[in-house]
Structure 1
Amino acid sequence: MRDRLLDDEALESSAVVANSAMNRQRQLAGVNSYARELGFNPLEWVIARVRQPPPRLPARTTIGWLDLCCGTGRCLLQAADILARDGLDDLVTIVGVDLVDFFDPTPVRAAALHLTCASVTSWSPPRRFDLITCVHGLHYIGDKLAVLSRAASWLTDDGRFSADLDLDSIRLADGRPAGRKLATALREAGFTVDTRRRRIERTGPGDVALPYTYLGADDRAGPNYTGQPAVSSYYTEIHPLRS
């Protein structure tokens, strides 16, 4: 298996990772939307945070929402338009990051929105965020656990992280799914793992160190539960030294 695994540079050139059918046209709300996939409307969550009375509102310039693997940014553009319409765009900063520079045109009034073409495995944000989302993006990332660890460190003190995570796509060197032991390790690191909904969340930042070493990724894993081709990530488990 190891001779089939790709490093991050090779993986990011894969046609599977550049898949335009997944998360490219997703809306803010409705049938094909962030609200449906995440189980909550992220813009409504952000606006509620903006309107919290002191001292709940942190003493900083804006409330921040970071969306990893944002696709065309359509959902974020819709959110920025609503913020501008309601006069809230000076209170919120929305940052979208995607590997492919295939963003929808950004209107002049979308002052709250910043779209960045970069790899989420190496990109670092200029600030912490109140909300971090990743809708189906982890399916196409090689070192999924590293991204989870990095995202945890980018949250504000009571910030929220929410993403889709298919644990079947995280495998050990012999091909077996990491399974329950990985789910337990994630929970012990402060994440909430919903295996039925294939969702992972957390509240508040953390210095996450998971007991796995990344080996590489397989872009020939085939379709996952979404029906779209996805990427399987391979790790070796780090066993604690016994005295």
Structure 2
Amino acid sequence: MIDDASPTAAQLPPQLVKDDELTGHSVVANNVMNRERVLTGVNSYSRELGFDPAEFLYSHGPAPAWLDMCSGEGLALHAAARQLPQAIITGVDLVGPLLPSAPPDGLELITADLGRWSPERRYDLITCVHGLHYIGDRLSLLERAASWLTETGLLVAHLDPSTLRRFDGSDLSRPVLRALRAVGFHYSARDHRLSLRGGRPVTLPFTYLGADPQAGPNYTGQPAVASYYRPHGSRPPAFDNR
């Protein structure tokens, strides 16, 4: 079924950029994301996620594993590693820590593009605290991250559906959320939190077209990236830059 018509000149979206270009944009390669967010308290992972990651890990056996995507300075990870010396904790960030400090045993902070990075193990907990807002092909990352979970693992990430768009700029949030729920994700509109329990292969019916780093502020009040997709079964737009 075709649910998108060919674009007219008036419908053309902003100039989309590929993810290779996106990673160098100031909105994405920023030095603010999760720089001061700690494990518990007011400005914390516990508050943003709705649970204490360290307590969650403690309940997953003697050597649990946590992957935090877009980890920034990794302050929360440092605290969790000190509380759980047997845990394996990995933080991945495009910019990486700006303050040099030796990580505790069990903590690895990696500077890498999440669009290209993949782990060598599975994790009991995968988090992305307000990080998807700066990822171009965020649906692909969610597909891949679902396969990085253990059988009893939990993935939690903040998602702003209003920044998911068709090639003509129209809202794609409902089809995306419907597709995510169909493969096992749960979305809380109140908290803008997307979650998945249990690792599994995931395929979402959308083709990534590119991103708009000039989309402006999202619900957080901070500049964010809008991601453009073509639903499978729709007519490819003339300006598809893939």
TM over 0.5: yes
Q: Secondary structure at the match of 2:219?
A: coil
SS in 2 for 1:230: strand
Secondary structure at the aligned position of 1:111 is classed as coil
Q: How many residues are paired up?
A: 223
**8 Å Cα contact 2:30-2:95 kept in structure 1:** no
C-alpha deviation, 1:239, in angstroms = 2.3
TM-score by length of 1: 0.88
Pairing 1:131–2:142 present: no
Cα RMSD of the aligned pairs, angstroms, is 1.5
Q: Is the 8 A contact 2:45 2:53 kept in 1?
A: yes
Name the CA distance, whole Å, in 1 between partners of 2:209 and 2:13: 8
For residues 226 and 2 of structure 1, the distance between their equivalents in structure 2, rounded to whole angstroms, comes to 23
SS in 1 for 2:47: helix
**1:20 paired to 2:18:** no
* Aligned match for 1:162, one of 151, 156, 167: 156
Distance 2:55 2:38 in 1: 14
TM-score by length of 2: 0.88
Q: Distance in 2 between matches of 1:215 and 1:227?
A: 25
- % of aligned pairs identical? 50
Conservation of the 8 A alpha-carbon contact between 2:177 and 2:187: yes
SS of equivalent to 2:196: strand
- C-alpha contact 2:164 2:228 (8 A) present in aligned 1: yes
Instruction: Report the Cα distance in structure 2 between the residues aligned to 1:237 and 1:104, rounded to whole angstroms.
Output: 42
User: What is the CA–CA distance in structure 2 between the aligned matches of 1:208 and 1:17, rounded to whole Å?
Assistant: 26
Q: Show the counterpart of 1:57.
A: none
Partner of 2:110: 116
Partner of 2:210: 216
Q: What 5-or-longer segments of structure 2 have no aligned partner?
A: 1-11, 235-242
Structure 1 runs (4+) deviating above 6 angstroms are none
| Contact map agreement 1:73 1:104 (CA 8 A) in 2 | no
Structure 1, unpaired ranges of 5+: 52-61, 84-88
Q: Say if 2:96 and 2:109, in contact at 8 Å, map to a contact too.
A: no
C-alpha offsets along residues 54-99 of structure 1, whole Å, 9 cap, x if unaligned?
Answer: xxxxxxxx3110000001111111211222xxxxx1x210000000
Counterpart code for 2:176: L
Corresponding letter in the other structure for 1:44: E
| Cα separation, 1, equivalents of 2:174 and 2:206 | 14
- Spell out, residue by residue over 1:23-72, the C-alpha distance to the aligned partner (whole angstroms, 9 max, x if none): 22111011111001110011110012226xxxxxxxxxx31100000011
